[in-house]
Amino acid sequence: MEKRVSEQFEYWLNDPYFDEDTKKELLAIRNDEAEITDRFYKDLDFGTGGLRGIIGAGTNRMNLYTVRKATQGLANYIIANGDPARGVAISYDSRNMSPEFARETALCLAANGIRAFVSDTLRPVPELSFALRTLHAQAGVEITASHNPPAYNGYKVYWEDGAQVTPPHDTGIIADVNKVTSYDSVKTMSLSDAKAAGLYEEFGAKIDDLYMEAIKTQIIHPEVIREMADEIRIVYTPFHGTGLVPVTRVLRELGFRQVFVVPEQAEPDGNFTTLKYPNPEDPEAFTLALKLAKEKDADIVLATDPDADRLGIYAKDTKTGEYIGFTGNMSGMLIGEYILRERTAEHTMPEKPAFVTTIVTTNLARRIAEKYGLHYVEVLTGFKYIGEQIKLFEQEHSYNYVFGLEESYGCLAGTHARDKDAVVAVMMLCEVAAWCKKHGMTVWDQMQNIYREYGYYKETQYSITMKGITGAEKIKDLMNSIRNDPPKNFGAWKVEEFRDYRTGIVTETATGEQKPTGLPKSNVLYFSLDNDAWVCARPSGTEPKIKFYMGVRGTGLDDSAKKVQELTDAVKAMLPKD
DSSP string for residues in 311-378: EEEEEE-TTTSPEEEE-HHHHHHHHHHHHHHHHHHHT-PPSSEEEEEETTS-THHHHHHHHTT-EEEE
What is the model's pLDDT at position 56?
97
What is the model's pLDDT at position 147?
86
pLDDT for 431-448, tens place per residue? 999 999 999 999 999 999
What is the model's pLDDT at position 468?
66
Residues in Cβ contact with 337 at an 8 Å cutoff, skipping those fewer than 6 apart: 368, 450
Check whether 47 has a pLDDT greater than 90: no
What is the model's pLDDT at position 270?
95
Q: Name the DSSP letter for residue 184.
A: G
Q: Which of 91, 94, 119, 146 is catalytic?
A: 146
pLDDT for 103-124, tens place per residue? 999 999 999 999 999 999 999 9
What is the model's pLDDT at position 2?
85
Nearest C-alpha neighbor of 493 from the set 578, 551, 446: 551
What is the model's pLDDT at position 469?
64
Check whether 473 has a pLDDT greater than 90: no
Dist. CA 9–CA 6, nearest whole Å: 5
Query: What is the average pLDDT score of the chain?
Result: 95
What is the model's pLDDT at position 578?
60
Q: What is the assigned CATH class of domain 42-203?
A: alpha beta
Domain ranges of the chain: 42-203, 211-324, 457-573
pLDDT band at residue 344 using 50, 70 and 90 as cut-offs:
very high
- Which pTM was predicted? 0.94
Residues 289-295 have a mean pLDDT of 98
Dist. CA 169–CA 176, nearest whole Å: 10
What is the model's pLDDT at position 545?
86
Residues 405-412 have a mean pLDDT of 96
Residues 85-114 have a mean pLDDT of 98
Q: What is the assigned CATH class of domain 211-324?
A: alpha beta
Whether 146 is catalytic is yes
| Share of residues in the chain with pLDDT > 90 (%) | 91
What is the model's pLDDT at position 48?
78
CA distances from 577 to 185, 203, 238, 326 (A): 47, 53, 40, 32
Residues 488-492 have a mean pLDDT of 95
Instruction: Specify the fold of 457-573.
Output: TATA-Binding Protein (3.30.310)
Domains 211-324 and 457-573 equal at CATH topology level: no
What is the model's pLDDT at position 467?
73
